[in-house]
Structure 1
Amino acid sequence: MAPSTKLAPLIKPLPAHAAEAGQRFDLARYRDLSLLPVLLVLGIIGYAVSPAFLTADNLLGVGQQATELSLLVLAGALILIVGRMDLSLESTIGVAPVIAVWLVLPDHGARFNGLGLFPGWTAIPLCLLIGAAIGAINGFLILKLRLNGFIVTLGALTLLRGLQTAISEGQSIINLPSSFRYLGSASWLGVPSAIWICAVLFLLGGSALAWLRHGRALYAIGGNAEAARAAGIRVDRITWIVLILGGTLAAFAGILYTGHYGSIAADQGNGWIFQVFAATVIGGVSLNGGRGTLFGALTGVLTLQLVVNVMTLAGVPALWNQFLNGAIIIIALVISRFTSGEKQE
């Protein structure tokens, strides 16, 4: 039976590349696994630098510190795969917890006073709703008003950062509902709960991308949105859902970060978007959309965290971390350019 005309835009390019299909698949798999040797080398270097590197306390500490960034990377990877970009994720991780706490804490004459409009147990649901609302508004501006996504999310980043500073009055918030502290500080079976949560979310997200029809649609949209639309995929609806999910995950990252450190920092999340892009790109997620896996993105996060940990154990000043992140981003872009198989225009 002849293929449906709706699928023609998707099927048309395949004959030209049919001979390379197996090779392309193998290369894609290699990119997803390419950081595993790097992680092994970092482990060897770390042990050579300090025997404390391979202790359970150190490794669990690295995992705990990676959880918040991991959720931002999970959100960023999904958005990049669908062919979009959201710079406001780094502000959402800070402003969503601040607004949630502001809504539930009563005015008791402390340094930070809230409105007391909702009971304390609603802090986490409110935080997640705020993150979802930020993603929904971004999606409306990008998909309905057809504004440039980079400029919209850059503006949202600045706006939300200013809102966070205004509400918190530029100071850290230490008076937090007990529910906010639990997830980021509790341990389950001797492992921080945040690590369990991240592992489950990455497993669910990776399974959805691999096996669910709507998950596979993300790759189709990111690869060729017009062809996906011609094939009957609701491009705008799915993209909007991904943006909402991204905002929700960023807010959840804010909850874990807040619980881990016991306070909401005035600059929480500042500069994190660069680490998100570094982790996703070195993990094999394409900035052009339609390519990459969550497993690769996760190995990117672990690589960044292990590099910082090894540098710390070696006594390298933390002031070099920002330089290192910038260098990793540039190197990752170069590697991505030459491994993507795309031709120079």
Structure 2
Amino acid sequence: MTGTASPPAADAVEKASVRGSRPRIDVARRRDFSLVPVIFVLGVIGFIVSPAFLTQDNLIGVVQQSTELGLLVLGEALILISGRMDLSLESTIGLAPVLALWLVMPAHGARFAGLELFPAWTAVPLCLAVGAAVGATNGFLILKLRVNGFIATLGMLTMLRGLQVGISEGRSLGNVPESFAYLGKADWLGIPAAVWICPALFALGGAVLGYLRHGRALYAIGGNPEAARAAGVRVDRITWTVLAVGGVLAAFAGILYTGHYGAVSASQGNGWIFQVFAAAVIGGISLKGGRGTLFGAFTGVLTLQLVINVMTLGGVPPLWTQFLNGMIIIIALVISRFTSGEKQD
């Protein structure tokens, strides 16, 4: 922030940020924990459906399978709170690993043998750099060229998906360097590393939103960007940064996913954006910006994954998953409409 704003404007934005980040204790906190009973009920149903539900292997598997989606939800939640949205995260989780491996695979004697471009250890930073570049490009389109955010990121999603398929020639990329696959397949204290990393990143993000000035400013920007700008908040810079961070988180999700399965498929991430928005919406993240918490988003991810797990244990065909995600979004929006007290356009 700068010191150019008038005190009344600054006070207004500070109050708006406080209302967004640690808001309405009686309402927002209750909304944060609203999915906890749902998770408990799903646990009971899961145990009734199959005693294997409560085994350690199954529960750890549920959390591990939530990690990659969870990182996309984390990035999208931060962007939504700031009043924007990014559909291209779905493609970034696939393109970033593909492009990074395309640049380093020659050192491993793969299909581009003889074209030594980058050493294997650079695969991870290259992947994260690709994610940051995608997010920064979205920021340029939205903030500088004033392109509609939905259309810009939808176009980016389509373009990146085509680039991913073109580079990979429609095939999976295997022979993943050990340094790239480590986090996705490593165990720390007998638990997959991803299970430690994902909640830690959510906790870090929650701390930033709750206690750092720029984190609290996201709520002010999402609630009223003009008032935030009048109060001296560097709206464009912070929004641009959040879009880049979202891209980095999507790329990191791609690293975990690739390490977990040992390869990058040509369709990696395809259709995930529907689950991302489902988890964010049922977790209390407002599509209008300025409201929601990362704890709520995290419980949204767990809820979706538990539903899928219970369905799987119950023998329900996975083809119904997309229908269920859409239904969950609609129900969550209807509930939010009548519990938020906001007037709709």
TM-score normalised according to structure 2 size: 0.93
Residue 326 of structure 2 is aligned to residue 314 of structure 1: no
Give the corresponding residue for 2:158.
Answer: 158
Residue 292 of structure 2 is aligned to residue 289 of structure 1: no
The alpha-carbon deviation at position 181 of structure 1 amounts to: 1.3
Give the corresponding residue for 1:324.
Answer: 324
Whole-angstrom CA distance in 2 between matches of 1:87 and 1:155: 9
Considering only aligned residues, what root-mean-square deviation do their CA atoms show, in Å?
Answer: 2.0
Whole-angstrom CA distance in 2 between matches of 1:214 and 1:65: 31
The alpha-carbon deviation at position 116 of structure 1 amounts to: 3.1
Residue 86 of structure 2 is aligned to residue 90 of structure 1: no
Give the corresponding residue for 1:74.
Answer: 74
Whole-angstrom CA distance in 1 between matches of 2:14 and 2:199: 35
**Structure 2 residue ranges without an equivalent (≥5):** 1-5
Q: 2:10 aligns with which of 7, 29, 51?
A: 7
The 5-angstrom pairing of residues 232-271 of structure 1 reads 232-271=232-271
AA partner of residue 44 (structure 1): V
The alpha-carbon deviation at position 179 of structure 1 amounts to: 1.2
The 5-angstrom pairing of residues 69-218 of structure 1 reads 69-106=69-106, 110=110, 115-218=115-218
Q: Identity percentage over the alignment?
A: 74
AA partner of residue 6 (structure 1): A
Whole-angstrom CA distance in 2 between matches of 1:338 and 1:111: 56
Give the corresponding residue for 1:230.
Answer: 230
| CA offsets 1:171-192 (integer angstroms, 9 cap, x no match) | 1111211112110011100110
Give the corresponding residue for 1:64.
Answer: 64
**Structure 1 residue ranges without an equivalent (≥5):** none
Q: CA contact under 8 A between 1:81 and 1:285: conserved in structure 2?
A: yes
Q: Kindly tell me: are residues 91 and 56 of structure 1, through their superposed partners in 2, closer, same or farther at Cα, counting changes over 3 Å?
A: same
Give the corresponding residue for 1:43.
Answer: 43
Give the corresponding residue for 1:337.
Answer: 337
Q: Kindly tell me: are residues 113 and 308 of structure 1, through their superposed partners in 2, closer, same or farther at Cα, counting changes over 3 Å?
A: farther
Whole-angstrom CA distance in 1 between matches of 2:8 and 2:223: 19
Q: Kindly tell me: are residues 107 and 184 of structure 1, through their superposed partners in 2, closer, same or farther at Cα, counting changes over 3 Å?
A: closer
Whole-angstrom CA distance in 1 between matches of 2:193 and 2:211: 27
| CA offsets 1:209-262 (integer angstroms, 9 cap, x no match) | 001111000000000000111111000000000000000000000000000011
The alpha-carbon deviation at position 106 of structure 1 amounts to: 0.8
Whole-angstrom CA distance in 1 between matches of 2:114 and 2:101: 7
The alpha-carbon deviation at position 108 of structure 1 amounts to: 7.3
Q: CA contact under 8 A between 1:102 and 1:115: conserved in structure 2?
A: no
Moved more, 224-233 or 101-110: 101-110
Residue 222 of structure 2 is aligned to residue 219 of structure 1: no
Give the corresponding residue for 2:28.
Answer: 28
What secondary structure is seen at the aligned counterpart in 1 of 2:97? helix
The alpha-carbon deviation at position 335 of structure 1 amounts to: 1.7
Whole-angstrom CA distance in 1 between matches of 2:83 and 2:182: 35
The alpha-carbon deviation at position 109 of structure 1 amounts to: 7.0
Q: CA contact under 8 A between 1:183 and 1:193: conserved in structure 2?
A: yes
AA partner of residue 136 (structure 1): A
The alpha-carbon deviation at position 338 of structure 1 amounts to: 1.8
The alpha-carbon deviation at position 25 of structure 1 amounts to: 3.0
